[in-house]
């Protein structure tokens, strides 16, 4: 009888160990590449700094790439894939076409990483690290980036069109979109603060400056001078008209005086809880930074491919 008891106990211990190992493989860890690619963090950081010094705007572009990647079937680097005969990718989706940028920077980083650690580090993890390092270098908060994501083997323009929030979204649409991805109202307002850096195209803010009433009249007039009712779709204007290459909380202060350049941004001041958060972040940069970092950790953990799912791409723009 004792033999069967100990045999049963051994089976339980083996099963528990197997479950623990499988569970560990599905969790992201900041130490994932500590032994397999110890110089990874330094390589990514140095390449991001080099890219931003060459073009300050690229920091915002890298942050946006990570955001648009995670909102479409999880953080799996699907946004980086070129179209193939088997699928139409996400680069030509409405939110990305002639807008998403920074692909070459990620490819350059990947090439450097491949030299140091061949076929070890995913493009999805490089995107997550590049977004964090961009924010930090531009004066924003840091956060712990969990690693261990793998890369998708497909992409979908249709999924991108259905998943990435649009600049014309109402507050209720924004809340619904973020909730669908497991993100709270505080995450929505904090992550929208990523618009404290970067530029927007005329086609993205035209309707707001001509049709909306919740915009400062002189601010709208100044934007109309460069963004006519028709044409000039690609003309750029800063999302934060004061410090577009510095990560700070002026984005929220602009919203309080009706100087949000996108309809979706100004919508945050259109509801009880979101309005309160806008005012809170405008008054206290540290509170914004803390909430932004927390939101980025949550967002970058959306449905990652781990374990044996997906692959480690050699080139980020194509499947192996």
Q: Which residues are catalytic?
A: 68
Report the length, in residues, of the chain.
320
**b/e map 79-98, b = 16+ CB within 10 Å:** bbbeeeeebebbbebebbee
Sign of the Cα pseudo-torsion (186, 150, 30, 40, in order): negative
Q: What are phi and psi of 305, to 5 degrees?
A: -85, 125
The secondary structure of 239-291 as a DSSP string is SSSS-TTS-SSHHHHHHHTT--SSHHHHGGGSSHHHHHHHHHHHH-HHHHHHH
Q: Phi-psi region for residue 216, left (φ > 0), alpha (ψ -120 to 50) or beta?
A: beta
Side-chain half-sphere CA neighbours of 114 within 13 A: 14
Report whether 200 contacts 262 (CB < 8 A).
Answer: yes
Give the whole-angstrom CA distance, residue 81 versus residue 156.
Answer: 10
Give the whole-angstrom CA distance, residue 128 versus residue 193.
Answer: 17
Give the whole-angstrom CA distance, residue 34 versus residue 36.
Answer: 6
Give the whole-angstrom CA distance, residue 121 versus residue 275.
Answer: 41
Give the whole-angstrom CA distance, residue 2 versus residue 115.
Answer: 57
200, containing H or E segment: strand 199-201
């Amino acid at each position: 009888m004792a033999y069967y008891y100990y045999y049963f106990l051994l089976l339980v211990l083996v099963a528990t160990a197997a479950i623990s190992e499988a569970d560990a493989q599905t969790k992201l860890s900041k130490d994932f590449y500590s032994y397999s690619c110890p110089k990874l963090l330094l390589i990514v950081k140095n390449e991001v700094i080099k890219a931003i010094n060459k073009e300050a705007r690229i920091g915002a572009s890298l942050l946006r790439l990570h955001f648009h990647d995670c909102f479409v079937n999880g953080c799996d680097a699907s946004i980086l894939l070129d179209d193939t005969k088997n699928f139409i990718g996400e680069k030509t989706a409405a939110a990305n076409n002639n807008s998403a940028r920074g692909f070459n920077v990620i490819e350059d980083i990947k090439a450097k990483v491949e030299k140091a650690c061949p076929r070890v580090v995913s493009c999805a993890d490089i995107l997550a690290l590049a977004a964090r390092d961009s924010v930090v270098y531009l004066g924003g908060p840091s956060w712990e980036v969990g690693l261990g994501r793998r890369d998708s083997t497909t992409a979908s323009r249709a999924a991108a069109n259905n998943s990435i929030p649009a600049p014309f979204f109402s507050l209720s649409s924004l809340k619904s979109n973020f909730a669908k991805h497991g993100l709270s109202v505080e995450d929505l307002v904090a992550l929208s603060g990523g618009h404290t850096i970067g530029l927007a195209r005329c086609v993205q803010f035209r309707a707001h400056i001509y049709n909306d009433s919740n915009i400062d009249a002189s601010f709208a007039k100044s934007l109309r001078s460069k963004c006519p009712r028709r044409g000039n779709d690609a003309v750029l204007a800063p999302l934060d008209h004061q410090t577009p290459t510095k990560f700070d909380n002026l984005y929220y202060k602009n919203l309080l005086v009706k100087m949000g350049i996108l309809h979706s941004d100004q919508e945050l001041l259109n509801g009880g809880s979101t309005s309160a958060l806008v005012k809170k972040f405008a008054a206290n940069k540290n509170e914004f930074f803390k909430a932004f970092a927390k939101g980025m950790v949550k967002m970058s953990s959306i449905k990652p491919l781990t374990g044996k799912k997906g692959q480690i791409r050699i080139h980020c723009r194509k499947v192996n």
